[in-house]
Amino acid sequence: MAYTMSEVSEKTGLSPFTIRYYDKEGLIPFVERSQAGRRLFSDADLRRLELVCCLKNTGMSIAEIKKFISWEIEGDEDYALRLEMLEAHRKKVKKKIAVLEKNLSNVDGKIKTFREKSGKQEGKS
């Protein structure tokens, strides 16, 4: 099945500008074009775009994602490189999560303190 830019934008929540940028950067390298020159996205393109968003949303740079995608395009012999990159990225994400959990705990503590001082019950705003 082929999807238009607006359909992909709706499915992913990404703006057409962002999708075009990712395409120009080579992050979704096999996007076909209609006779009129409009991008036509496949299910495989959507899956790749989902991976790009996942990596980007977890803090991987566009340059690193581009390298990962280029290794993916080159074939199966680059599994070790991709695995190493993903494992290193996972460690960074886990550290970020730990920091966020600590910060959330601090925020929760402040909320509890202010609720106690204001006489509000938990869960009531």
Structural domain count of the chain: 1
Q: What is the DSSP string of 21-63?
A: HHHHTTSSTT-EE-TTS-EEB-HHHHHHHHHHHHHHHTT--HH
- What pLDDT is attached to residue 125? 47
Q: Is residue 124 assigned to a domain?
A: no
Q: Is the pLDDT of residue 124 over 60?
A: no
Q: What is the CATH number of the domain that holds 72?
A: 1.10.1660.10
**First CA to last CA across the chain, in angstroms?**
47
pTM of the complete model beyond 0.75 = yes
How remote is the C-alpha of 38 from its chain's centroid?
Answer: 24
| 94-105 mean pLDDT | 98
Mean pLDDT taken over the chain: 93
Q: Letter for the amino acid at 101? A: E
- Domain with 84, as residue range(s), is 5-118
Q: Is residue 125 assigned to a domain?
A: no
Q: Is residue 107 assigned to a domain?
A: yes
Q: Is the pLDDT of residue 45 over 50?
A: yes
Q: Is residue 86 assigned to a domain?
A: yes
**Element containing residue 124 per DSSP (H, E):** none
Q: Is the pLDDT of residue 121 over 70?
A: no
- What pLDDT is attached to residue 123? 60
